[in-house]
Structure 1
């Protein structure tokens, strides 16, 4: 048995995470050449493949978070994606400038925290206020994988 407020809180969590991904994805689209250059500067392999995939993951992932579609598998996938972007994009251990290193440390651990939020969505599911919730036969908090 779930409390009615649970689905509202889960919706707010999904929307908060979606803002990050939608904003990031749209900014990548608007500044695509700069994003590709950034990935190249970080030594990301296969940039011509990685850049469009990362952009699509952020835009589509953000949209799926908003509508609450396939949240359990999406939560697990986006947790892994967020950790991968932390390691590749916020590699503070390679920074010698103290100010920039501090900034990268904050961003790295921010990504770890965001991944934790995605893991919670993996456990809870999308809640009733979602496509997953509407499709759930029992109308519970989440949906099955």
Structure 2
């Protein structure tokens, strides 16, 4: 089971690693898009969210307080869904459809991150192939 969980962790964080890197490497373009979407303090929010994404993803990937890493990803995903993908505000049918897809993706991934948090916090140190045990305990 340890190997299956490790493979799942790797697959789960690929999206977040790429996105976190993009928030930092393509900061200027992402700040402009965030401003267009009405994100307050976009100049600060974009690089900060990139760091949040990278920290959460690396935590889950490496198994260093993976429960905390899961919560960091959750903290990114929920506000992002509502701020960046507010499909209910769109009037263009194509833009509305794209935002609805992205909103649903973010909410679904938030659910997965919440389940990962519970999994890591409940199983604790019994889960192999991690560098540390969880920071929180649900058992």
TM interval, short-chain normalised: 0.7 to 0.9
Matched, 1:67 2:62: yes
Once superposed, which parts of structure 1, at least 4 consecutive aligned residues long, lie more than 6 Å away?
none
RMSD of Structure 2 on Structure 1 (CA): 1.6
Q: Which runs of 5+ in 2 are unaligned?
A: none
Q: Partners of 2:58 and 2:66 in 1: how far apart?
A: 11
The whole-number CA distance in structure 1 between the counterparts of 2:71 and 2:57 is 14
Q: Normalising by the residue count of structure 2, what TM-score does the alignment of the two structures yield?
A: 0.85
Q: Deviations over 1:44-92 (max 9, x none)?
A: 1112221221111112222212101111122223213211111111110
Structure 1 stretches of 5 or more lacking a match?
Answer: 137-142
For 2:27 and 2:94, locate their aligned partners in 1 and report how far apart those are by CA, in whole Å: 27
**Structure 1 residue 93 and structure 2 residue 93: aligned?**
no
Between 1 and 2, higher relative CO (CA 8 Å, sep ≥ 6) is seen in: 1
Matched, 1:51 2:43: no
Distance 1:107 1:73, change over 3 A: same
Instruction: Show the counterpart of 1:131.
Output: 131
TM-score normalised by length of structure 1:
0.82
- Provide the secondary structure at the position in 2 that maps to 1:45: coil
Name the CA distance, whole Å, in 1 between partners of 2:81 and 2:68: 20
